[in-house]
Every structure is written in structure tokens, then in C-alpha cells.
């Protein structure tokens, strides 16, 4: 039997986010385009050399990007919206980054979640124009590796069905036509790769794990039939991940040379499909056995045994032992971590370590011998040592969880009654203006925090700096004319990390970065023990800010499900149990805020949707416990206390009911990049609670005009009553510069005042 090791993809950001620094330097004109291109090339080649040194046998190219791989494909195929005034030649970096981030004269493309991960992709926009291959960048990467390193790599590309499924600008009737226009371009890419010497082409089709209609299945069959006819020499590895392959009986027979299946997140379904239908004997099976989405060390003996079971069940002659999905969803290496608890460190596995695990499992299954005498026993001992750690034996947490009752998941009275009480208590104007929470984290803020963390300044000096910066922004907000203020979150590095640092059961890394979107990298906390609240986490800063103004200052918390979904989570108990532990900790924090006199408390849940199972028929169980976790955290407040929440960048059309079930008094949601779509959705399914439709895109450096915001406000009034309507940006402002933030907020307030005046004139 021929067995080889490979990974679907590898992190491109570098050990210490070198990729991010290079990209952002280019944006600031600190380096030339020529130097930028050279540094990107060096990064790609270094990534390949590193994987080769770790023993990986088939290396992948095309997993690298200058911003986002869906955007790469859109520009490669000429899907450039008319507003960018593209000339039709190769898409230059100015146009590319304008599509990603917006520019002074044009808004960015929409951005949303990549399946159920915390990565955001740029949504391609199809406007019906002729498509063409502008530049085969995947060919360039393949040739680069061949000429520079002497490697015959496996080029990877997002497949046509997934690409179209995640794009916008077409309806059900024109979907097939859109794909038919794309197929000759895919065929052209494949043929050029074959001519250059590519032995395999990995085509990523994660959309094939979604719920597929009969028409979808026929369309996929037609796609791969045409590609096989057009490029018969192309050996395609059809790669699926995140769940089991849908319509397995039909799709396993596609005319491709191999099919990759996820035996981690899709283990149960894929194994059942193998038992029932077998696997085509003429195909290579990609066995996704090492988890590409968590950071826990694999039990090598278990992985080897499971791999042997798959091989026996499938009866294949050739297989790839691989990651369950791209390793871009995990940090690069544990070698950068020097300060973690030794028991925890020993139980971790990042991208490099997962590659070693792949090579070890492959070696054992192929040669019936482990490389190294202690690799198996060490993996088992590491897992068992963490299981017995005292951080997982917290008696107080277990007692609190045991006391939870059904009434802890419900506010005492209904929203309409609360709304009347809150209106009387708060005395807010029509269309209250506010922001989501954070304000720009300037270089001075970052430098001061770094100096504090390095103990170059004292705790008291740092606290005084944060207090001063907070006071400055309270004054700015008052001068702008916002109605409900925030303290700015200058003490916080990250909306999850900050809380994890103050709760028991969390650990924090030094350089375990992953990409969230574009160049935005996050360092997710590790929830490795029982989560416990020990002291107030946010009261001091909010209380100090409230003393500086007569207006309300919101308490700002991150919700339990977002903390869960934006962390690497222990795998020895259910995610529901972990979410409830976090919710109980936040419940105590909310009580502390109320005791301090804070009347408006925002509990953000931007990641609620991304935890959904990919198939709608499996949503109910997750939503039941996820919504309950939010309500467990928030239901203990007084009726007069107003609970806000926030969500961003997800498809809301099919998610209104869960949002309603949260029973938050006010929700603010992203709508600047997809305003029209949400308006139509809310027309069909009205929302009765308080709502703020984000009126401008904070991920773009451009300043929206008063007229632009005024149009969004008027459109929103078609479906939201003034009693419900809040006005706010679509997300936090920490990544923006001070000047553009102030200018944008001034325009937002001006547009709101204009609306109020118009309303008064019509009364």
C-alpha cells in the first residue's frame, strides 16, 4: 500500500506575524511594491522549506495569500465590481486592496465568516460581466517552488462549486450559468498546471459537506464531468473538510483521481458512508486524521488505529494521511511558547507539531514502527497529565453549575414591559447614538501596554495612563454629541483575551497567532480548566468613566459563546458545559456592574453564529444551549437595566429567530456592507426588540459622508420603528485611526440629528 503524508494548507503569517508586518508596511507606503513582492516570495519559500524539514512528503502551494484566497480567485477570474473602475488587465495591488479594505472613493467588498470558523473571507461579487483568466497566480507559485527549491508541489485551489456557493450577485436561475462561465477558466488553470509538471491538483470543495439539494448534486456532477473532459491529464484530489461528505453515494463516484475526507469533524458520518457504500478502488483516499482546528496533542496510538480502520474499511491501495483541514486555523509552532504551565505545554500541538504527528502516524501505518521509541507513550502521558491537573478539579465551579435552574435562563418580564420601564428610567432621545465599545488603539496605547507588560513601567503608572486616555475619549464623545458613551477599552488587548486573563481556567500564549481577517491576527486564549470568576474585571474602568460625564456609559463584556468560540477549548467535556461555566462567571460580573450603578450593559456575541453546525438540520441543539448560555449570563439584571448585544459579519437572513431568542433589549448588527440584503430580510421577518443597524463600515479607512449615512438611516426606517432604532457603527473602532474615527462619528451624529429634525417637522 502506498501511503504519504500531506497537509491541506499551512499558516502563512510566520512565527511572529512577519507576513502581517510586511503587508501593513506596504499599506503605509513604508516599503516599495518591489520590496513587498520579494518579501512575500521569501515567506512562501520559507514555509515550504520548513514543512519539508519537518518530514512532510507532499507539499502544498496556493495556500498563501496577499489578503484572502477567495479574493485572490475573484481577481484571477476578473470578478471585479464596476465601482473599482478596473481596466480589464491584470488586477494591480491598488485595486486588490481596495476590494479588500475600501478606499477613499469606493466601499470594500462584503466580508463574512468562512463556514463555521473565525476566519473571514471577502465575498466575490458577480455582476454578469464576461469573465477571463487575468493571471494564474497558482501556476506562478508552482513554478516558483519548482525552480527555486526543486520541488514538485501540490497546487491547491478553491473549487468552482464552493466559490460560487460563497459568492453573491446571482439568483437560483443564473447559478448554473455563472458556473458554466467559470469552468473554462478553471480548465485553463488546470491545463497550465499540468503542462508545468503538476502531478496532483488539490481542489478544495468544503461546500460539499453542506446540505445539498438534488439539483446541487447534479450541478457538481456536471462540473467535474466537464473538467475531466477538458483536462483529462489533471489528477484532481477533491478535498472536503469541516463535516462529512454529503450525497456520498453519488459524489464519491465523481471523475476525479482522489477524494479527501475529514475523519475528525466528519468522522461519524464519513465512517458510516464507507461502511454503507465503500470507496472507489480506483481513487486515492485523503484521510483527514489530525485535527486542523484545535491545539491539542494527538493520541498517536488512537490516530494510527483509526487510520488503519479507515484503510481496512475502504480497501484503497493508495492514501494520503493528512490534516482534517488547512492548518491556517492553528498557530505556527509551540516552540515560541516559554511561559505556559509545563503540563499544558506538553499537551499542545500547533501546525508544526501536527505535521510531525502526521509523519509519525504515516510512518507507523506504512512501516509498522514508530519513529522514535517514546513518541506514542509521550502523547498518552501528556493527555492524561492534563486530565488530572488541579485546574480541572474546581469544586466551587462544579457547585455553581449544579445549582442552575430553568428560571436562571429567563428575564422576569417580557421586552415590551421592560422597554417602557427603561424609557422612563433612561430618558434617551429618539434614535440614540452610540458606538460598539472600543476606540482606536494608537501606537502610544500599544507602546505603553508593551512597556507595562515588560515591567518597564509600574502598575500604577499604566493604570493612570489608561485612566487618562479614557478621560480624553469621554470628552471627545461628549463633544461629538454621542448619546450613550463607552470607556474605550484602552486596557484591553483583545475582547476575549482580556476576560480570560481575569478568569480562572484560562491560559495565554506569547506568539500563538491566527488570522481573523486580512492582516488582523488574534491570539486565542486556551480554556484548559474550569472557568471561575474571582473578582470584578471591568467595574473600575467603567465606574471611573461614568464619573466624568452626565451621560450613560455602557458596561462592556464579551458574551459566553463568543469567549468559547474565539478560544481554543478543552476537549474533555462538552462545549455546552464550558459555555455555562463562562456564563456563570459573567453573571457575577454583571451583578458587580449593576451594584456599581451601571444602567446599560453590553454583552457582545459576534461569534454566536459561527459555532453553528454547517447543516441546518443540526442547528437546533447548538442554538438551544448557546442562546441559554447568553441568557444565563444576562437574566439576573433588574428590569430597568438595559442589556445590549452586538453581532458582526454573518448572514442574518436565516438567523433572526435565534437573535430574537436572546431577548436582549438592544442588538447592534453589521449592515454597512450588506445593508440592502438585511433590510429585505427584516421586511419578511420583522424584529420587535431594540436594534441598531451599523451605519458605516469600520474595517475600511474611508470616512462615510453625512448623505451616505442619511440614506442608510432612511432605508432602515422602512422596517424599524423609532422606538426600536439605535444608531451606531457596525463594529468596534480599535483598528481605526483617531482622525478618521472622529470624522466618521461626527458625520454619524450629524446624520442622526438631521433625521430627528426631519421627523419633528413631519409631526
Q: For the residues of 406-461, what is the DSSP string, one character each?
A: GGGGS-SS-HHHHHHHHHHHH-PPSS-B---SB----HHHHHHHHHHHTTSS-HHH
For the chain, give the percent of residues with pLDDT over 70. Answer: 98
- Check residue 675 and give its pLDDT: 60
Residues of each domain in the chain carrying CATH 3.20.20.210: 2-18+55-389, 421-441+477-493+539-559+574-762
Distance CA 707, CA 347 (A): 55
Residue 17 annotated as binding site: yes
Strand partners, 348: 296
For the segment 342-364, the average pLDDT, to the nearest whole number, is 96
Give the H/E segment covering residue 230. helix 214-230
Q: Which three cell numbers mark 566?
A: 474565539
Strand partners, 4: 320
Q: CA 618, 620, 626, 629 torsion: positive or negative?
A: negative
| DSSP, residue by residue, 199-223 | S-EEEE-GGGGS---HHHHHHHHHH
Distance CA 155, CA 144 (A): 11
Average pLDDT for the chain = 94
CA atoms within 13 A on the CB side of 756: 16
β pairing state of 284-290 and 318-323: parallel
Distance CA 159, CA 313 (A): 28
Residue 521 annotated as binding site: yes
CA atoms within 13 A on the CB side of 107: 16
- With b for 16 or more beta-carbon neighbours within 10 A and e for fewer, the 682-717 pattern comes to beeeebebbbbbbbbbbbbbbbbebebbbebbebbe
- Angle between helix axes 738-762 and 459-480 (nearest 10 degrees) is 30
pLDDT at residue 676 greater than cutoff 70:
no
- Check residue 392 and give its pLDDT: 96
For the segment 321-344, the average pLDDT, to the nearest whole number, is 96
Residue 657 annotated as binding site: no
Question: What is the residue whose three cell numbers read 508593551?
Answer: 450
Give the H/E segment covering residue 260. strand 258-262
For the segment 647-666, the average pLDDT, to the nearest whole number, is 80
For the segment 94-116, the average pLDDT, to the nearest whole number, is 93
Q: What are phi and psi of 650, to 5 degrees?
A: -150, 165
Q: For the chain, what is the radius of gyration of the CA atoms?
A: 26
Do 741 and 439 meet the contact criterion of CB atoms below 8 Å apart? yes
For residue 98, give every residue at least 6 positions away whose Cβ sits within 8 Å of its Cβ, in sequence order, or none: 84, 106, 108
Question: CATH class for domain 2-18+55-389?
Answer: alpha beta
Integer CA distances (angstroms), 163 to 108, 123, 155, 239, 366, in order: 19, 9, 17, 14, 36
Residue numbers annotated as active site: 699
pLDDT at residue 693 greater than cutoff 90:
no
Residue 438 annotated as binding site: yes
Distance CA 500, CA 505 (A): 8
Distance CA 192, CA 188 (A): 6
Q: Within a 10 A sphere around the Cβ of 29, how many other Cβ atoms?
A: 8
Distance CA 200, CA 442 (A): 47
Nearest 10 degrees: Cα torsion 694, 698, 703, 705: -10
Question: Residue 397, SS3?
Answer: helix
Question: What pLDDT digit, counting tens, does each position of 574-627 carry?
Answer: 999 999 999 999 999 999 999 999 999 999 998 898 888 999 889 999 999 999
Residue 325 annotated as binding site: no
Nearest 10 degrees: Cα torsion 93, 96, 100, 104: 70
pLDDT at residue 157 greater than cutoff 90:
yes
pLDDT tier at 674 (50, 70, 90 boundaries)? Answer: low
Q: Lowest mean pLDDT: which of 9-13, 212-216, 340-344, 729-733?
A: 729-733
DSSP at 231? -
Residue 731 annotated as binding site: yes
For the segment 297-313, the average pLDDT, to the nearest whole number, is 96
Alpha helix ranges (H) inside 596-700: 619-634, 656-661, 675-684
DSSP at 102? -
pLDDT tier at 673 (50, 70, 90 boundaries)? Answer: low
Q: Which three cell numbers mark 1?
A: 500500500
Q: What are phi and psi of 241, to 5 degrees?
A: -165, 170
Distance CA 701, CA 392 (A): 44
Residue 335 annotated as binding site: no
Do 671 and 727 meet the contact criterion of CB atoms below 8 Å apart? no
pLDDT tier at 349 (50, 70, 90 boundaries)? Answer: very high
For the segment 223-240, the average pLDDT, to the nearest whole number, is 98
DSSP at 296? B
pTM reported for the whole predicted model:
0.88
pLDDT at residue 649 greater than cutoff 60:
no
Q: Which residue in 228, 226, 261 sits closest to 246, CA to CA? A: 261
| DSSP, residue by residue, 476-511 | HHHHHT-SEE--B-TT-SSTTHHHHHHEEEEE--SS
Q: Which residue in 335, 207, 355, 379 sits closest to 292, CA to CA? A: 355
Q: Which residue in 186, 217, 191 sits closest to 203, CA to CA? A: 186
Residue 589 annotated as binding site: no
Question: Residue 597, SS3?
Answer: coil
For the segment 281-305, the average pLDDT, to the nearest whole number, is 96
β pairing state of 111-113 and 120-122: antiparallel
Do 57 and 4 meet the contact criterion of CB atoms below 8 Å apart? yes
Q: Lowest mean pLDDT: which of 102-116, 240-254, 575-589?
A: 102-116
Question: What pLDDT digit, counting tens, does each position of 702-753 carry?
Answer: 898 999 999 888 888 888 888 999 999 988 888 889 999 999 999 999 999 9
As a residue count, the chain comes to 763
pLDDT at residue 209 greater than cutoff 80:
yes
- Check residue 652 and give its pLDDT: 61
Q: What are phi and psi of 85, to 5 degrees?
A: 50, 45
Q: Which three cell numbers mark 455?
A: 515591567
The CATH code for residues 421-441+477-493+539-559+574-762 is 3.20.20.210
- Check residue 516 and give its pLDDT: 93
For the chain, give the percent of residues with pLDDT over 90. Answer: 83
Secondary structure (H, E, C), 367-379: HCCCCCCCHHHHH
For residue 198, give every residue at least 6 positions away whose Cβ sits within 8 Å of its Cβ, in sequence order, or none: 142, 152, 153, 154, 155, 234
pLDDT tier at 193 (50, 70, 90 boundaries)? Answer: very high
Residue 437 annotated as binding site: yes
For the segment 670-689, the average pLDDT, to the nearest whole number, is 73
Do 578 and 569 meet the contact criterion of CB atoms below 8 Å apart? yes
Question: What is the residue whose three cell numbers read 499551512?
Answer: 10
pLDDT at residue 178 greater than cutoff 90:
yes
pLDDT at residue 672 greater than cutoff 70:
no
Amino acid at each position: 500500500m502506498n501511503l504519504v503524508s500531506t497537509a491541506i494548507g499551512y499558516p502563512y503569517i510566520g512565527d511572529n506575524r512577519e507576513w502581517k508586518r510586511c503587508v501593513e508596511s506596504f499599506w503605509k507606503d513604508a516599503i516599495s511594491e518591489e520590496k513587498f513582492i520579494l518579501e512575500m516570495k521569501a515567506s512562501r519559500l520559507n514555509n515550504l522549506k520548513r514543512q519539508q524539514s519537518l518530514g512532510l512528503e507532499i507539499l502544498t502551494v496556493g495556500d498563501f495569500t496577499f489578503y484572502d484566497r477567495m479574493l485572490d480567485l475573484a481577481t484571477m477570474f476578473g470578478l471585479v465590481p464596476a465601482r473599482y473602475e478596473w481596466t480589464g488587465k491584470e488586477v494591480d495591488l491598488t485595486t486588490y486592496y481596495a476590494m479588500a479594505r475600501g478606499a477613499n472613493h469606493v466601499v470594500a467588498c462584503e466580508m463574512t465568516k468562512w463556514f463555521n470558523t473565525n476566519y473571514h473571507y471577502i465575498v466575490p461579487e458577480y455582476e454578469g460581466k464576461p469573465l477571463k483568466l487575468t493571471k494564474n497566480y497558482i501556476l506562478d507559485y508552482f513554478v516558483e517552488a519548482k525552480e527555486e527549491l526543486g520541488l514538485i508541489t501540490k497546487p491547491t485551489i478553491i473549487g468552482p462549486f464552493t466559490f460560487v456557493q460563497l459568492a453573491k450577485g446571482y439568483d437560483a436561475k443564473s447559478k448554473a450559468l455563472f458556473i458554466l462561465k467559470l469552468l473554462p477558466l478553471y480548465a485553463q488553470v488546470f491545463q497550465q498546471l499540468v503542462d508545468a509538471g503538476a502531478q496532483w491538483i488539490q481542489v478544495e470543495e468544503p461546500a460539499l459537506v453542506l446540505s445539498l439539494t438534488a439539483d446541487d448534486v447534479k450541478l457538481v456532477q456536471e462540473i467535474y464531468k466537464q473538467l475531466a473532459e477538458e483536462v483529462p491529464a489533471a489528477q484532481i484530489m477533491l478535498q472536503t473538510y469541516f463535516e462529512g461528505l454529503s450525497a456520498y453515494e453519488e459524489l464519491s463516484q465523481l471523475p476525479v483521481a482522489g477524494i479527501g475526507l475529514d475523519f475528525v469533524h466528519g468522522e461519524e458520518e464519513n465512517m458510516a458512508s464507507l461502511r454503507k457504500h465503500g470507496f472507489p478502488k480506483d481513487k486515492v483516499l485523503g484521510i483527514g486524521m489530525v485535527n486542523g482546528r484545535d491545539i491539542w496533542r494527538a493520541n498517536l496510538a488512537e490516530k494510527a488505529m483509526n487510520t488503519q480502520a479507515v484503510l481496512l474499511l475502504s480497501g484503497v491501495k493508495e492514501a494520503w494521511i493528512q490534516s482534517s483541514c488547512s492548518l491556517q486555523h492553528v498557530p505556527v509552532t509551540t516552540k515560541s511558547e516559554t511561559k505556559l504551565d509545563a503540563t499544558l505545554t506538553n499537551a499542545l500541538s500547533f501546525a508544526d507539531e501536527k505535521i510531525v504527528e502526521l509523519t509519525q502516524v504515516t510512518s507507523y501505518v506504512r512501516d509498522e514502527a514508530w519513529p522514535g521509541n517514546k513518541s506514542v507513550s509521550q502523547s498518552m502521558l501528556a493527555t492524561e497529565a492534563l486530565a488530572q491537573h488541579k485546574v480541572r478539579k474546581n469544586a466551587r465551579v462544579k457547585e455553581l453549575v449544579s445549582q442552575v435552574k430553568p428560571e436562571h435562563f429567563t428575564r422576569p418580564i417580557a421586552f415590551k414591559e421592560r422597554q417602557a420601564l427603561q424609557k422612563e428610567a433612561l430618558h434617551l432621545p429618539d434614535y440614540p447614538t452610540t458606538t460598539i465599545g472600543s476606540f482606536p488603539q494608537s501606537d502610544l496605547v500599544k507602546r505603553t501596554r508593551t512597556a507595562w507588560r515588560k515591567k518597564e513601567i509600574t502598575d500604577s503608572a499604566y493604570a493612570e495612563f489608561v485612566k487618562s486616555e479614557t478621560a480624553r475619549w469621554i470628552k471627545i464623545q461628549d463633544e461629538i454629541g454621542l448619546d450613550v458613551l463607552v470607556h474605550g477599552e484602552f486596557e484591553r488587548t483583545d475582547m476575549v483575551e482580556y476576560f480570560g486573563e481575569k478568569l480562572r481556567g484560562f491560559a495565554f500564549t506569547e506568539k500563538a497567532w491566527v488570522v481573523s481577517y486580512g492582516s488582523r491576527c488574534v491570539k486565542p486564549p486556551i480554556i484548559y480548566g474550569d472557568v471561575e470568576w474571582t473578582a470584578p474585571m471591568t467595574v473600575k474602568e467603567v465606574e471611573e468613566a461614568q464619573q466624568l460625564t452626565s451621560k450613560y456609559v455602557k458596561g462592556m463584556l464579551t458574551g459566553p459563546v463568543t469567549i468559547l468560540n474565539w478560544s481554543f477549548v478543552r476537549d474533555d467535556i462538552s462545549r455546552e458545559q464550558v459555555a455555562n461555566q463562562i456564563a456563570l462567571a459573567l453573571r457575577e460580573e454583571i451583578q458587580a456592574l449593576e451594584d456599581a450603578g451601571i444602567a446599560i450593559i453590553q454583552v457582545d456575541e459576534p461569534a454566536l453564529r459561527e459555532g453553528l453546525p454547517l447543516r441546518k438540520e443540526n442547528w437546533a441543539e447548538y442554538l438551544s444551549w448557546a442562546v441559554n448560555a447568553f441568557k444565563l449570563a444576562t437574566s439576573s439584571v433588574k428590569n430597568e437595566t438595559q442589556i445590549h448585544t452586538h453581532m458582526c459579519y454573518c448572514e442574518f437572513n436565516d438567523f433572526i429567530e435565534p437573535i430574537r431568542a436572546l431577548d436582549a433589549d438592544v442588538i447592534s448588527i453589521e449592515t454597512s456592507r450588506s445593508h440592502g440584503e438585511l433590510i429585505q430580510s427584516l421586511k419578511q421577518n420583522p424584529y420587535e426588540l431594540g436594534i441598531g443597524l451599523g451605519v458605516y463600515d469600520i474595517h475600511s479607512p474611508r470616512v462615510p459622508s453625512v448623505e451616505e449615512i442619511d440614506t442608510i438611516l432612511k432605508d432602515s426606517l422602512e422596517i424599524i420603528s423609532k422606538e426600536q432604532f439605535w444608531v451606531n457603527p457596525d463594529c468596534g473602532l480599535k483598528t481605526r485611526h483617531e482622525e478618521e474615527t472622529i470624522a466618521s462619528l461626527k458625520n454619524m451624529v450629524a446624520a442622526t440629528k438631521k433625521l430627528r429634525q426631519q421627523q419633528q417637522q413631519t409631526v
